[in-house]
């Protein structure tokens, strides 16, 4: 295998998320210069705590992007589900968690039904869903932070396991594993990719694309709701403004994770790698003493490079540009010699 072929394989869309996360670890390790602040158990634990929340939201949003849609309501669902869990789970945390996740599934299901039955864009429907969920959250909490009385629950969720994980990060990893298996080995997973690649052709071929859209948005709502439940329980409180700004990081994580904005390409494991990249950047840069705004700059640079690499016919454009440039130079030399 030649060096060029190796580089091409490393930066192929399917392998790129894992190349980026490994490259991020190497670069931050070099900046750490052997001080041990980055390569530490505390940093790994911090990364996984961030992953537990951002990962589940990015997974839900990424699934909607796979079918060429965009679920704007994920950030609203995080806050609503967390508040429902805290309000209803005072005596039984399992009941609160179940009701919070059920609210997410129901919210996604309703939005999917509205889109498919009325043939509406996901952006408009989920924007309405986002505003509705935020309004409901403010009503339920009376615009105040509400505390959760069972202190044993946040202690249990945040207790280190093997020094690297917590119970909520293990739950998030398990959800990603289930999603990866479902996408790879079930018919629904293949239908999701087919719907995102060409919905019209899939419908002509006999695929019930409406069912796929509804299922994906229900899964997106459930995944985001689980993130809100775990976060609120782990903090021992719920707030109407908790993680209201999670949408942009989740979208960035999905794109870094190889999900195409035009649908039909991506995987849960790729999304997990994208989330890890952002979490490693956030915790790693903090560990080595870099200013927080650098995280946004680096993330933006990565997204820009990915956008360039994903540009249609990039290689052909570069070749054409190089040919035109060489042609202009030859013409200039001919003109000078004459």
Q: How far apart are the first and last CA of the chain?
A: 47
Q: What average pLDDT does this structure show over 101-126?
A: 94
Q: What average pLDDT does this structure show over 322-335?
A: 59
Residues 6+ apart with CB under 8 A from 237: 86, 145, 146, 147, 148
pLDDT reported for residue 126: 95
- pLDDT 10s digits, 18-64: 888 888 888 888 887 767 777 788 888 989 999 998 999 999 999 99
pLDDT reported for residue 162: 85
Q: Which CATH number fits domain 17-290: 3.10.450, 2.60.98, 1.10.3470, 1.10.357?
A: 1.10.3470
Average the pLDDT over each of 27-41, 119-133, 192-206 and give the range with the smallest value. Answer: 27-41
């Amino acid at each position: 295998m030649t060096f060029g072929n190796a580089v091409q394989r490393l930066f192929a869309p399917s392998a790129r998320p894992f190349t980026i996360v490994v490259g991020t670890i190497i670069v931050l390790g070099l900046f750490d210069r052997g001080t041990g602040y980055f390569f530490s158990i505390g940093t790994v634990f911090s990364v996984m705590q961030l992953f537990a929340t951002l990962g589940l939201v990015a997974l839900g949003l990424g699934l909607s992007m796979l079918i060429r849609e965009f679920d704007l309501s994920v950030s609203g669902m995080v806050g609503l589900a967390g508040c429902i869990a805290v309000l209803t789970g005072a005596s039984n945390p399992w009941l609160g968690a179940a009701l919070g996740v059920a609210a997410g599934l129901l919210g996604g299901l309703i939005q999917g039904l509205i889109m498919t039955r009325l043939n509406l864009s996901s952006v408009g429907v989920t924007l309405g869903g986002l505003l509705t969920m935020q309004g409901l959250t403010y009503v339920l909490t009376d615009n105040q932070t509400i505390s959760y009385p069972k202190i044993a629950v946040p202690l249990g969720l945040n207790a280190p396991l093997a020094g690297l994980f917590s119970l909520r990060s293990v739950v998030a990893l398990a959800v990603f594993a289930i999603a990866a298996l479902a996408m790879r080995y079930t018919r629904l997973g293949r239908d999701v990719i087919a719907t995102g690649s060409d919905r019209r052709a899939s419908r002509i071929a006999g695929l019930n694309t409406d069912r796929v859209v509804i299922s994906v948005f229900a899964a997106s709502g459930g995944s985001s709701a689980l993130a809100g439940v775990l976060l609120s329980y782990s903090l021992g409180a719920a707030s109407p403004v908790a993680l209201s700004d999670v949408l942009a990081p989740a979208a960035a994580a999905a794109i870094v994770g190889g999900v195409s904005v035009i649908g039909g390409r991506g995987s849960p494991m790729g999304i997990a790698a994208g989330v890890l990249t952002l979490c490693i950047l956030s915790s790693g840069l903090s560990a080595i003493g870099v200013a927080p705004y650098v995280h946004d700059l680096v993330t933006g640079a990565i997204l820009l490079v990915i956008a360039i690499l994903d540009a249609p016919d990039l290689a052909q454009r570069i070749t054409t540009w190089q040919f035109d440039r060489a042609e202009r130079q030859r013409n200039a030399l001919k003109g000078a010699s004459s």
